[in-house]
C-alpha cells in the first residue's frame, strides 16, 4: 500500500475554529434572561447589556471613543456612508480590488464608486487619491486587505488635505495595527464585520467606530430607523436632527458570541504571527518570487502569506503542486476585481433611477473596465495566498515552508 506522502491538510479558519465554552456561556446567559433584544427585555429593572458590553469592550480594544454594533459589515459600511452624509452626486474612491460590499454600499446610498488601483501591498496606492479626486469626491474608502494594514499615514494626509472623509473598512483585519496603533483609529469612521470567515465571528454582525460625536449620532440614527435612544444619548447628547434611517440593530445573541470572540482576538493573532514567523524567513529570498510588501509588518495579523511570482504562467503549476502536498492555497481570497462582477457589468441598482451610472452613454464606461486597471490586473494574476489558521500547528507551518521551497525548485528552478 502506498503511504500518504504528506501530512494531512490542516483545517482552515480563524474565529469560528475557536468557538467554545465562552461563547456558549454568554449565549445561554441571554437565553436564560429571555432578553434577545438590546434595548429592552423581560425584566424592566435590568435592561439587557450584552450589546452595550460588546461596544464598550470593542472601543477599549480599538482605542477609540465610540462603537456601534450593527447587523453586518455591509450594514456597517452603509451606516458609515450615511453618517458622513454621502449620497447622490457624490463620489467615493475605493480600490478596484475589494469586497463586494465596498462597492455596493456606495451605490446603495446613491453615490458613485470611483475605482482605484492597488499596489503590491494589495491595498490602496496612496497616489491614486490625487489621480482620481474631483470636486465631487467626498470620501476615500480604505480596505485593510486580509489582516495587512494599509499605509494610513500617506492616505490620511492626502485625503484630509482635500477635505475628504476617510472610511476604513477593517472587516478583514480586526486586531491589525499600523505604526503601533490599531487600524480603525486612523480615519473619520471605520467598520468591522463578524461574518463567519472573519477574525472574530458571530455568524453575522458588524461594528462602526468613530471618535466624532456627530458621526456617532448619525450612525446610530441610520442604524435604528432614525431614532436616538437614551442609552446612546447618555454617551453623546443629541445635537443632530432625526432623518430616515435603516434598521441594522444587532441582536443580543449575536453580541454574546461576538463578545466572547473579541476576547480571543489577541490569542488568535499571536498564534497566526508565530506560524508566519516560522515560514517567512525560510522563503523570503527565493528567486522569481516575492512576498507581499507590508506597510507595517509589526501590525500584520499574520493569517495569510502572499507570494507574488514574477511570471503569471508560474502561478497555476505552483498552486497545483502545493495543493498536491496538502497545502491550502488560493488564487482568490476575500475579494475580486470589482469590474469583473456582474453588478458592475450591468451598472444597475435595484431601480433605474438609483444607479449612479445611469447618465453614462456607454457602459461599462472608462474606469469600470479591466483594461483601465493594468496594475491591479497584473498583480492579481501573479499571486498565491497561503492561509494560516487557528487549528494550524508549528508542524503545519514547517510543512508549508518545506513545500514552498520544494515547489519553487520544481516550477521556477
Of 104, 195, 254, 338, the residue at the interface with ligand PLP (CB under 6 A) is 195
95 φ, ψ (degrees, to nearest 5): -70, 140
Instruction: Please name the residues in contact with 279: beta carbons below 8 A apart, sequence gap of 6 or more.
Output: 305, 386, 397, 400, 401, 404
Residue 51 near ligand PLP by CB under 6 A: no
Distance, in Å, from the CA atom of 389 to the CA atom of 396, rounded to the nearest integer, reads 10
Least distance in angstroms from the C-beta of 95 to ligand PLP: 10
Least distance in angstroms from the C-beta of 203 to ligand PLP: 9
Residue 318 near ligand PLP by CB under 6 A: no
Residue labelled with grid coordinates 465562552: 22
Nearer to ligand PLP, 49 or 299 (CB): 299
Taking alpha carbons only, the member of 334, 258, 257 closest to residue 301 is 334
> Hey, what's the cell of 15?
474565529
Residue 327 near ligand PLP by CB under 6 A: no
Residue labelled with grid coordinates 488560493: 330
Residue 355 near ligand PLP by CB under 6 A: no
Could you give the string, one character per residue 122-161, with x where binding to ligand PLP holds by CB under 6 A and - elsewhere?
Answer: ---------------------x------------------
Distance, in Å, from the CA atom of 212 to the CA atom of 168, rounded to the nearest integer, reads 14
Nearer to ligand PLP, 174 or 322 (CB): 174
Nearer to ligand PLP, 143 or 164 (CB): 143
Residue labelled with grid coordinates 447587523: 71
Other C-beta atoms lying within 10 Å of the C-beta of residue 3: 4
Residue 206 near ligand PLP by CB under 6 A: yes
Residue labelled with grid coordinates 473619520: 188
Q: Which residue is nearest to ligand PLP (CB)?
A: 73
Q: How many residues bind ligand PLP (CB under 6 A)?
A: 14
Residue 176 near ligand PLP by CB under 6 A: no
Triad 326, 328, 331: Cα angle to 5°: 130
Least distance in angstroms from the C-beta of 72 to ligand PLP: 4
Residue 334 near ligand PLP by CB under 6 A: yes
DSSP 309-320: ESSGGGHHHHHH
Distance, in Å, from the CA atom of 173 to the CA atom of 189, rounded to the nearest integer, reads 15
Q: Which stretch binds ligand PLP (CB under 6 A): 56-64, 68-76, 129-137, 379-387?
A: 68-76
Q: Please give the residue ranges that form the binding site for ligand PLP (CB under 6 A).
A: 72-74, 99, 101-102, 143, 169, 171-172, 193, 195, 206, 334
Amino acid at each position: 500500500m502506498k503511504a500518504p506522502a504528506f501530512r494531512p491538510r490542516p483545517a482552515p479558519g480563524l474565529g469560528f475554529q475557536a468557538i467554545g465554552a465562552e461563547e456558549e456561556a454568554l449565549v445561554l446567559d441571554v437565553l436564560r434572561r429571555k432578553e434577545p433584544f438590546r434595548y429592552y427585555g423581560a425584566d424592566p429593572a435590568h435592561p439587557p447589556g450584552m450589546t452595550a458590553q460588546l461596544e464598550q469592550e470593542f472601543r477599549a480594544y480599538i482605542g477609540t471613543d465610540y462603537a456601534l454594533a450593527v447587523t453586518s459589515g455591509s450594514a456597517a459600511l452603509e451606516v458609515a456612508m450615511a453618517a458622513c452624509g454621502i449620497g447622490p452626486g457624490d463620489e467615493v474612491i475605493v480600490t478596484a480590488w475589494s469586497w463586494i460590499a465596498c462597492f455596493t454600499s456606495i451605490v446603495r446610498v446613491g453615490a458613485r464608486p470611483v475605482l482605484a488601483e492597488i499596489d503590491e501591498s494589495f491595498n490602496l496606492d496612496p497616489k491614486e487619491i490625487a489621480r482620481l479626486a474631483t470636486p465631487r469626491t467626498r470620501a476615500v474608502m480604505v480596505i485593510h486587505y486580509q489582516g495587512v494594514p494599509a499605509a494610513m499615514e500617506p492616505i490620511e494626509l492626502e485625503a484630509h488635505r482635500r477635505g475628504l472623509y476617510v472610511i476604513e473598512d477593517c472587516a478583514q483585519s480586526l486586531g491589525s495595527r499600523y505604526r503601533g496603533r490599531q487600524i480603525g483609529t486612523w480615519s473619520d469612521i471605520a467598520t468591522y464585520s463578524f461574518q463567519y470567515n472573519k477574525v472574530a465571528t458571530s455568524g453575522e454582525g458588524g461594528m462602526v467606530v468613530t471618535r466624532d460625536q456627530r458621526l456617532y449620532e448619525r450612525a446610530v440614527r441610520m442604524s435604528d430607523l432614525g431614532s436616538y435612544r437614551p442609552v446612546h444619548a447618555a454617551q453623546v447628547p443629541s445635537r443632530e436632527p432625526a432623518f430616515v434611517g435603516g434598521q441594522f440593530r444587532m441582536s443580543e445573541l449575536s453580541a454574546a458570541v461576538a463578545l466572547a470572540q473579541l476576547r480571543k482576538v489577541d490569542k488568535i493573532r499571536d498564534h497566526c504571527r508565530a506560524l508566519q514567523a516560522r515560514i517567512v524567513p525560510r522563503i523570503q529570498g527565493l528567486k522569481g518570487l516575492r512576498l507581499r510588501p507590508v506597510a507595517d509588518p509589526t501590525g500584520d495579523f499574520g493569517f495569510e502569506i502572499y507570494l507574488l511570482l514574477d511570471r503569471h504562467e508560474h502561478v497555476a503549476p505552483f498552486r497545483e503542486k502545493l495543493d498536491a502536498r496538502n497545502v491550502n492555497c488560493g488564487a482568490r481570497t476575500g475579494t475580486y476585481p470589482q469590474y469583473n462582477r456582474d453588478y458592475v457589468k450591468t451598472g444597475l441598482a435595484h431601480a433605474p433611477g438609483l444607479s449612479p451610472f445611469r447618465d453614462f452613454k456607454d457602459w461599462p464606461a472608462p474606469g469600470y473596465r479591466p483594461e483601465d486597471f493594468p496594475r491591479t490586473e497584473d498583480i492579481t494574476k501573479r499571486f498565491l495566498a497561503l492561509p494560516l489558521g487557528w487549528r494550524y500547528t508549528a508542524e503545519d507551518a514547517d510543512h508549508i515552508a518545506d513545500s514552498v521551497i520544494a515547489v519553487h525548485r520544481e516550477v521556477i528552478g
